[in-house]
Each structure stands twice: as structure tokens, then as C-alpha cells.
Amino acid sequence: MNDKVIALGYKILNSKIFSRIFRSYKLIWELAGLTKRTAMDAVLYGVKDEQEFWSSGERIAEKLRKFVDKNSIVLDVGCGIGRIERFLAPYCR
């Protein structure tokens, strides 16, 4: 990789603006987790209720099932509470 690109990336990551954004992001999630209600509001953002949240995970898992079998090892590198994985896990290792 080009040294100038690496230097620019390092400069951005260590900038005050990036640090402020990162701290704000962390703070938002820490505040969201203070109560069960605020945590659920944060997790359910964009869906009308908890049932819709889990149903959407089930629909996505159903689409992914064609790519796995009982011997498949699946690594989830995302973050969240297992909305999709809870429905996909029974079909792989």
C-alpha cells in the first residue's frame, strides 16, 4: 500500500474530529444500554416491534440456508444480538 495513503489514514484516525465522533458513538450505545427499554429501542430501530425484528432475521436466515449444511462452520463477524444467527445456527455447526 502507498505510504502516503497509510500516513493519511493514520492522521485521520488520530484526528480530534474522529476521536470526538468515536467517543460520541460509544456514549450513545452506553446510554442506550442503561435500561431494557432504551436498549430495545436502539436494537429495534427501523422496525415496528420485536416480532418484526425477529421475523426479519428468520427471513434472512432462510435465504442463507442454501449456502450451509450441517457440516458448515459459520463465523459471524457482525455485531448485534443474533437476530439472524438464532435461526441459522440449527442448520450448521
Sequence length of the chain is 93
The more confident residue out of 19 and 49 is 49
Contacts of 53 by beta carbon, 8 Å cutoff, 6+ apart:
43, 44, 47, 83
Provide the pLDDT for residue 54: 92
Q: What pLDDT score does 87 carry?
A: 95
Per-residue pLDDT of 30-87, as tens digits, reads 777 777 777 777 778 778 888 998 999 999 999 999 999 999 998 888 777 888 999 9
The Cα 13–Cα 22 span in angstroms is: 10
Return the pLDDT at 39.
Answer: 79
What is the rounded radius of gyration, in angstroms, for the C-alpha atoms of the chain?
19
Residue 76 near residue 56, CB atoms below 8 Å: no
Measure the CA angle with vertex 75, ends 70 and 79; round to 5°: 130
Provide mean pLDDT across the span 19-27. Answer: 72
Cα(23)–Cα(21) distance, integer angstroms: 6
**pLDDT confidence of residue 34:** 78
